[in-house]
Chains A and B, each alone.
Chain A
Amino acid sequence: MDFPREEGSNAGQKSMASELKLFGASSLVDQLDKQVVVCLRDGRNIVGCLRSFDQFANIVLEDAVERIVVAETFGDVPQGIFVIRGENVMILGEIDPSKESLITQRLQQVSADEIKRALQAQKEDKKAFQRKEKLEWPIQEDF
């Protein structure tokens, strides 16, 4: 498939070309078609096949899954095609298939439903802990 390109004057094309050349320095072309893990600013991790990117690091991932880690377990929640706005990207790491075993050695893989439940339980634990802290130290409320 060929996407239509914006028509521009010669000068415009030239500056575009030099821009591309500059961006080429850290271009993600090498990562296209590879499995990548993208860490987002909100702490989420998305794993998928890199299909597209641009100079803002806007990213399209195919067959994306959200990889959730809770304590000693991890699980993948399917998300389909994922388009990520560049500003939310922290790091984009290319996954080395030969190193994937390092994760499964350390963590136990569980199903999507299970990991969602585990995450929910962890959140509630945290909330309960905060409530408890508030009860034990009510004086802090006055400050």
Chain B
Amino acid sequence: MLFFSFFKTLINKEIEVELKNSLTIKGTLQSIDQFMNLKLENVSVADVENYPHLLSVKSCFVRASVVRYVHLIHADVDTELLQDATRREYKELKTRSG
């Protein structure tokens, strides 16, 4: 659930999603679910030449299984906090499994 929580801290931040077909979508993260399906607002597609039919889209849902990368703005991410959270999650997992 760590990545779910992590993405929840990025809600309302500008992110860039690269799909497995190399289509890149920029937008404001509106919501995220446990599968890491994304919903973006104020969407803009980098490659308008090849995807002109996406010009009229204002908000979109991206299925988690087609995402290759998510590019974030460095200022939006507290890597130290993330690292600590990772340690904590690992510790919890270890104590739970005994």
Query: How close is B83's CB to chain A, nearest CB, in angstroms?
Result: 25
Is B15 in contact with chain A by the CB < 8 A criterion? no
Contacts of A106 in B (CB 8 A): 52, 55
In the assembled complex, the Cα of A31 lies from the Cα of B32 at a distance in Å of: 16
**Tally of A interface residues using CB under 8 Å:** 34
Partner of A57, one of B34, B37, B59: B37
CB contacts between A and B, total, < 8 Å: 88
Majority secondary structure of chain A interface residues (helix, strand, loop or mixed):
mixed
Contacts of B38 in A (CB 8 A): 26
- The residue of chain B having its C-beta at the shortest distance from the C-beta of A22 within the complex is B34
Partner of A86, one of B25, B33, B63: B63
Residues on A lying within 8 angstroms of B by beta carbon are 22-28, 31, 37, 39, 41, 43, 45, 57, 67, 69, 74, 86-87, 89-97, 99-100, 102-103, 106-107
Q: Are B53 and A26 in contact (CB under 8 A)?
A: no
Residues on B lying within 8 angstroms of A by beta carbon are 19, 21, 23, 25, 31-34, 37-39, 43, 52-63, 65-66
Can you name 28 A-B residue pairings with CB atoms under 8 Å?
A22-B33, A22-B34, A23-B34, A25-B34, A26-B38, A26-B61, A27-B33, A28-B61, A31-B61, A37-B53, A37-B57, A39-B54, A41-B66, A43-B21, A57-B63, A67-B53, A69-B53, A74-B53, A87-B65, A90-B66, A91-B61, A91-B62, A93-B54, A94-B59, A95-B56, A95-B58, A96-B56, A97-B56
